[in-house]
Structure 1
Amino acid sequence: MTKLNFVRRAALSAAVLGLAAGAAQAQDQKIKTKSSAGKTKTVVSTTGQSGVGITLSNLDRTVAPCDDFYRFANGNWMKNNPIPASETGWGGFNVLRNRNRDVVHGILEKVAADRTAKPGSNAQKVGDFYAAAMDSMAVERAGLKYLQPRLDKINAIQDVAGLQRYLADPKNYGKGWYGLGVGQDPKNSTQYAVQVRQGGLTLSDRDYYLKDDARSKTIRAAYRTYQINTFKLLGDDQATAERNADAVTRLETRMAKASRDRVALRDRDKNYNKMTVAQVAADYPNLDIPLRLKESGLSSAKDIIVGQPEFLKEANAMIKDEPLADQKQYLRFHLVEGVTSALPQAYVDESFRLSKVLTGAKVPQARWKRAFAATDNALGEAFGQIYVDQDFSPAAKAKAKLMVENMRQAYAERIQATEWMSAATKAEALKKLNAFVVKIGYPDKWKDYSKLSISRESALNNLFAVSEFNTMDNLSKFGQPVDRTVWGMTPPTVNAYYNASLNEIVFPAGILQSPFYDPKADDAVNYGGIGAVIGHEMTHGFDDQGRKVDSEGNLRDWWTKEDGEKFMAKADVVGKQYDAFMPLDSVHVNGKLTMGENLADLGGLTIAYAAFMKTPQAKAGKIIDGFTPEQRFFLSWAQIWRINQRPETTRQLVQTDPHSPGQFRTIGPLQNFPEFHKAFGCKDGDKMVRPVSNRAKIW
């Protein structure tokens, strides 16, 4: 599933599309500015009608738009919006997420206060889960009471056979030596398959264990301190805690060395290795995967899709030759670190100390925000129904659907007009585009939580119950018809995604709001915001990995050899462009890791602009707040990416996140975009203008 994850995308009706066309005639003024290249350009200003959607106070007019459009559009906002102490960054996404959280906060407080909810109802479960998460005194009183039986279970392991039985039980919590689950077969999207993949690490990237740069060493030192102090909280003395921490790190480092890096994990072809269960059992006997299948209710499986065979080979060896005592400490530590949020404050404090080093956050988030995040993760579709009733109308859903169809039509025209693609490949591309399933706002079929039991007794037990419910829900899909109604995000989420196996684009209600979509704003604002978002998700179906999947969601090469080579040559141009971007001194964006998102940004903006140019506003060309319709489109694009970010977080995201930093998501596509250059009078030699020989264009 490819997400927009702006940091980590709304709608217009036909009536709204025409509103800006009747704007009062503006009186133009001309303002001359100079670029860093010393060239004079003209930017349109006006005293005409004032619009909404573009925040003029965000602009830094001391920066020429052709020098740094990101700063021009957002500079004053960045100066006036320091990062709150509890945040790792602050931008347009954070503002909207906070707004949505405030709405949900009111819902959760109301539901938690209502003790009359019917037992077993969604309201009872949501209220009790949130109330238990908020009850810090009960968490402190409980201490390790609800954790101890699980710690005892790990301590009771006596031999490799006992370890295998523990790992095979789907009800046990915490990281193991690998991940196993059920998902669509990438080469047969009509069927579910058992899938096995690498896993087992605590730190967010394998390279943190392996690199010897100063930053990686600092992170490893902080991680070791966190491990030692966690073991001491569990009752170990200093020497024992140090020994156990070193054992866990040694095991994880061994796993890291066998793990594929993030670039390799993007390759759909190389991560598809179908093997028979008999072959898996023979190749990795120490994992005893047949036992795991039996305990998981998957004994009827004949095949397994192995993501990274070399990792399983190493995991198989580790179970045999690593000391059992060390492996038990690994399980013990991961049981604890996975449920820190529901443990006494001392555990939370230790976890946050590590987070400070990783992200630069100064203070923890408020408890209610953490409780909301846990509730959203556990029961997001249960309270999501209340959220959309209060905050998202059926009319808004219908408007968003219309805009998606406008974008689909614009995309089809761009595909048909593409000069480098053959007729055969165009036909397949159009077939896939027309087959896109569109999900907007909230599910048509809500998730059934009837088998999940939640109470106010223990926040920790609730986490365990949710984990078991989700695991069993996933495993129960095997052998069943593929459920095409499922959602991968909850309604309040400020994000969007493309799911290749379902060939669908999904836009939760949470993102269908300002700054992405504003029903009061002109078309330029909405197409530059949510329009580009919609185009982004559509383009994921045709990025360097999405293009490997056909209209039915199957991993299949539907390109002619020549067209595929032409596409990758064009994609490589984009990769090299982003490789050169440097958000911090000596820290470069990884063009290969961010390839899919960069292509989606470029494609999304291209399609959104093409769709916008069909609107009455674009055709009328009237000025609002001193900017032409085209200029407002590009300003909207830039302002959705505004963000201030801590350097620690930036370093972490550049290493781990497939998305480029916000400033480069803004300027990267625009430097390739002749329409932008024309809109702002940019000339050759300006920083926002790439030489034609180095310019990227795909759609």
Structure 2
Amino acid sequence: MHRSLISAACCALFALATPLLHAQQAPNAATPVSGIDMTTLDTAVRPQDDFYAYVNGIWTRNTEIPADKSVWGTYIELREIAQRQLRALIDATVKNPGKAGSETHKIADLYTSFMNDKARDAAGFKPLRVELARVAAVKDKKDLPALFAFLQRSGIATPFSAGVAPDAQDPENYTVNISQSGLGLPDRDYYLKDDDARLAAVRAKYQQHVATMLAMSGDKDAAAHAAQALDIETRLAAAQWTRVQMRDPVKSYNRVDFDKFGELAPAFDWKSYFAAAGLAPKASMAVVRQPSFLGGFSAAVAEMPLESWKSYLNWRIVESYASYLDSATVRERFAFEGTVLRGVPQSEPQWQLALRFTDNAISDAVGKRYVAMYLPPETRPRVMAMFDNFVASFKDGIEHLDWMSPETKKEAQLKLAGLKPKIAYPDKWRDYGSMTTRPNDLIANVRAARAWGRQNNLDKLGKPVDRDEWSMTPQTVNASYSPALNAITIPAAILQPPFFNVKAEDAVNYGLLGITFGHEISHAFDDSGSQYDAHGRLRNWWTAEDRTAFKARAAGLVKQYGAYSPVPGYYINGELTLGENIGDNSGLSLTYNAYRRSLGGKPSPVIDGLTGEQRLYIGFAQKWRAKLRPEAAIAQIKSDPHSPGEFRAKGTVMNQPGFYEAFGIKPGDAMYLPPEQRVIMW
């Protein structure tokens, strides 16, 4: 991020536009470094009128979304920084791959095979003959279970997915999870909303795209087969739960013995499937996430002709491998996936695609080297100290809640005390010794990586849950909370500018990185995470009165965010985004309190004419600056539990008492919400 101190003339303009912001003497050598990007502030806008435009107005006016991106903003900028770091790492590895069979040699093989256009173009669709022949060989619907198991082992989507994860009712052990799957469009609404002209147009283009891709694979009757594939997907979409329904962890937890699956979906031979998938006899039951979907899937198996299922599965194979085939296929895939779905006119450069593939295929091997090259040793201790401060502040916050009983507070404190931080990188790395790679055979490498991942997942069955395992990689620009493990993960890649500057003062680090801590800790207590206890067990630890009070506050957030319209005619789904909005709002409140706590009772330092509290909120709003193409915004609204960045910034600060104090927000200001409408969860 570009940082600069504003000039004296600029300070004068700044002071006129925002009389609250106190000008002080010029910084001297002892003044801490601010991490605020002052060049983005639009001083023609009062923060009281539109805080997002005030913080990001100059950036918004002067920034164009790159031709190869559907969205551009601070998060994507940091991801680009991490991508360049990874490129340097992998370029060096390709030049010096080490001995055959080593992790470095496998990294080089994976990357090099992706970049080998000559070999990919020469191969065309020939590498897919194995999978396509398996579909062609099916003569009866009774063969579908074994075929589904084969395709899943190859990383190819089928109508349902089956994976191994911690059991929400028995979090020390793993279980099998069965979930709905199998659609090619972002959400069921794309298939079912006939009254939405935009979605209907996308659906028509999708069918044409499927036909084109099948024809490229050698299908002589591609148009008819594309229509059959879309018929299957539409049947599946109609049976699927909505994304809001899937957010309920209690309704999504349904233990079913393997020998009882026939009662849910009688048209499918589950015994054959579980055996072929390698799930039996290691396991004898599974958690079904959407039981009614299996009924709809079973009806589709019974009623739709075998030819339609074969068309659908051929399409799933082609779609799954399309990114790794010849140039013409890659271009056709991007024309739909990139341009039609997300509005992106130009594909990312091939090195970025190759890097992403390599990183996903052998992530810990890459991550181990990423940490060694790019993580300053002083970062982890400082971030851990920040985390401890956040936990202490959340602990105090629980005790001061006026709507929660002592009984529930005690349980909440136990959960907070059990929260495990996973900072920067794991203490143990995955072993890729069993993965075999080739320098010039991309599809073979795709298969090898997928098979390794599938087997690594299946091998968990029968073993105690590894609570130290990471679900993210150190080189990932993101963060997460796991309710089953009661753990937050903050990868190394996010611990760098513009999100974290080890040389900068605390306010901006709290506003940019600290909010990530606050957000993820708050997920432990959002509408979904709060239904798990300190050990990750799905258990109601609330009194009925406290849960009612919680839901009443949450309803306020649903209403607030449901009124925001990022694209005309398309409104944020306040129920779908509720968990993330709770994370933002509670997280920012926690961040403010943690920052004040870090001051030890002293006033915050004024830098660039801004108090620490003001810099914290500005840093928060700069973190969420973003521009989206309309197509990408619609896809996000339909499928993503996160609100678009502008509304994460603007909507969140309007609920914060500290924001009103820091910027003097008063009745009549556009950023003002009456106290009774402000949602304070934690």
TM bracket (short chain): over 0.9
**Which residue number in structure 2 is paired with residue 191 of structure 1?**
173
Deviates more, 1:89-98 or 1:48-57: 48-57
**Which residue number in structure 2 is paired with residue 518 of structure 1?**
501
Using the alignment, how far apart are the partners of 1:622 and 1:181 within structure 2? 51
Does the aligned pair in 2 maintain the 1:92–1:642 contact within 8 Å? yes
Asked if 1:664 corresponds to 2:647, the answer is yes
**Which residue number in structure 1 is paired with residue 492 of structure 2?**
509
Name which of 205, 220, 243 aligns with 2:203.
220
Does the aligned pair in 2 maintain the 1:29–1:44 contact within 8 Å? no
Does the aligned pair in 2 maintain the 1:166–1:172 contact within 8 Å? no
| Residues 645-660 of structure 1: pairs in structure 2 closer than 5 A | 645-660=628-643
| Residues 241-252 of structure 1: pairs in structure 2 closer than 5 A | 241-252=222-233
Name which of 419, 423, 428 aligns with 1:445.
428
**Which residue number in structure 1 is paired with residue 609 of structure 2?**
626
Does the aligned pair in 2 maintain the 1:107–1:387 contact within 8 Å? yes
Structure 1 residues not aligned, in runs of 5+: 1-27, 35-39
**Which residue number in structure 1 is paired with residue 131 of structure 2?**
150
**Which residue number in structure 1 is paired with residue 236 of structure 2?**
255
Offset at residue 508 of structure 1 (A): 0.4
SS at match of 1:125: helix
Offset at residue 625 of structure 1 (A): 0.5
Offset at residue 165 of structure 1 (A): 2.1
Name which of 57, 81, 93 aligns with 1:75.
57
Offset at residue 41 of structure 1 (A): 5.8
Name which of 279, 287, 293 aligns with 2:260.
279
Using the alignment, how far apart are the partners of 1:153 and 1:487 within structure 2? 35
**Which residue number in structure 2 is paired with residue 596 of structure 1?**
579
**Which residue number in structure 2 is paired with residue 93 of structure 1?**
75
Name which of 249, 272, 286 aligns with 1:268.
249
**Which residue number in structure 1 is paired with residue 148 of structure 2?**
167
Amino acid at match of 1:106: A
Amino acid at match of 1:287: F
SS at match of 1:586: coil
Using the alignment, how far apart are the partners of 2:90 and 2:453 within structure 1? 22
SS at match of 2:172: strand
> How many positions carry a matched residue from both structures?
665
Amino acid at match of 1:391: Y
SS at match of 1:189: strand
Name which of 375, 393, 397 aligns with 1:410.
393
**Which residue number in structure 2 is paired with residue 127 of structure 1?**
108
Distance 1:372 1:257, change over 3 A: same
**Which residue number in structure 2 is paired with residue 235 of structure 1?**
218
Distance 1:225 1:31, change over 3 A: closer
Amino acid at match of 1:274: R
Deviations for 1:299-341, whole angstroms, at most 9, x for unmatched residues? 2322221111111112122223211111111111111101111
**Which residue number in structure 1 is paired with residue 469 of structure 2?**
486
SS at match of 1:195: strand
Amino acid at match of 2:537: N
**Which residue number in structure 1 is paired with residue 361 of structure 2?**
378
**Which residue number in structure 2 is paired with residue 60 of structure 1?**
42
Using the alignment, how far apart are the partners of 2:113 and 2:663 within structure 1? 55
Using the alignment, how far apart are the partners of 1:526 and 1:168 within structure 2? 47
Does the aligned pair in 1 maintain the 2:474–2:492 contact within 8 Å? yes
Name which of 288, 294, 303 aligns with 2:269.
288
Using the alignment, how far apart are the partners of 1:316 and 1:682 within structure 2? 57
| Structure-2-length-normalised TM-score | 0.95
Deviations for 1:190-234, whole angstroms, at most 9, x for unmatched residues? 111111111111111011000021111111022112111101101
Does the aligned pair in 2 maintain the 1:192–1:477 contact within 8 Å? yes
Using the alignment, how far apart are the partners of 2:13 and 2:96 within structure 1? 61
| Residues 7-22 of structure 1: pairs in structure 2 closer than 5 A | none
Distance 1:618 1:232, change over 3 A: farther
Name which of 562, 570, 574 aligns with 2:553.
570
Amino acid at match of 1:592: E
Using the alignment, how far apart are the partners of 2:81 and 2:118 within structure 1? 28
**Which residue number in structure 1 is paired with residue 5 of structure 2?**
none
Name which of 166, 181, 184 aligns with 1:202.
184
Name which of 447, 459, 483 aligns with 1:464.
447
Does the aligned pair in 1 maintain the 2:186–2:638 contact within 8 Å? no
**Which residue number in structure 2 is paired with residue 43 of structure 1?**
21
Q: Which structure ranks higher in relative contact order (CA pairs < 8 Å, sequence separation ≥ 6)?
A: 1
**Which residue number in structure 2 is paired with residue 7 of structure 1?**
none
Using the alignment, how far apart are the partners of 1:515 and 1:689 within structure 2? 29
Amino acid at match of 2:476: T
Using the alignment, how far apart are the partners of 1:620 and 1:59 within structure 2? 24
Asked if 1:317 corresponds to 2:299, the answer is yes
Offset at residue 45 of structure 1 (A): 3.4
Does the aligned pair in 2 maintain the 1:164–1:287 contact within 8 Å? yes
Deviations for 1:554-603, whole angstroms, at most 9, x for unmatched residues? 00000000000001101111110001111122221111000000000011
**Which residue number in structure 1 is paired with residue 8 of structure 2?**
none
Does the aligned pair in 1 maintain the 2:145–2:269 contact within 8 Å? yes
Superposed CA RMSD: 1.7
Offset at residue 295 of structure 1 (A): 2.2
Deviations for 1:166-195, whole angstroms, at most 9, x for unmatched residues? 123353442212111111111110111111
Amino acid at match of 1:596: G
SS at match of 2:402: coil
Using the alignment, how far apart are the partners of 1:619 and 1:254 within structure 2? 62
Deviations for 1:229-274, whole angstroms, at most 9, x for unmatched residues? 101101234xx21100100000000000000011111110111111
Does the aligned pair in 1 maintain the 2:323–2:333 contact within 8 Å? no
Offset at residue 518 of structure 1 (A): 0.8
**Which residue number in structure 2 is paired with residue 436 of structure 1?**
419
SS at match of 1:619: coil
Offset at residue 487 of structure 1 (A): 1.2
Using the alignment, how far apart are the partners of 2:425 and 2:656 within structure 1? 34
Does the aligned pair in 2 maintain the 1:47–1:625 contact within 8 Å? no
Amino acid at match of 1:94: I
Using the alignment, how far apart are the partners of 2:621 and 2:154 within structure 1? 46
**Which residue number in structure 1 is paired with residue 286 of structure 2?**
304
Using the alignment, how far apart are the partners of 1:629 and 1:182 within structure 2? 46
SS at match of 2:597: coil
Does the aligned pair in 2 maintain the 1:30–1:44 contact within 8 Å? no
Amino acid at match of 1:438: P
Deviates more, 1:249-258 or 1:52-61: 52-61
Deviates more, 1:466-475 or 1:544-553: 466-475
Offset at residue 114 of structure 1 (A): 2.5
Distance 1:523 1:577, change over 3 A: same
Distance 1:682 1:278, change over 3 A: same
Q: Percent identity among equivalent residues?
A: 38
Does the aligned pair in 1 maintain the 2:146–2:277 contact within 8 Å? no
Does the aligned pair in 2 maintain the 1:617–1:629 contact within 8 Å? no
Deviates more, 1:579-588 or 1:428-437: 579-588
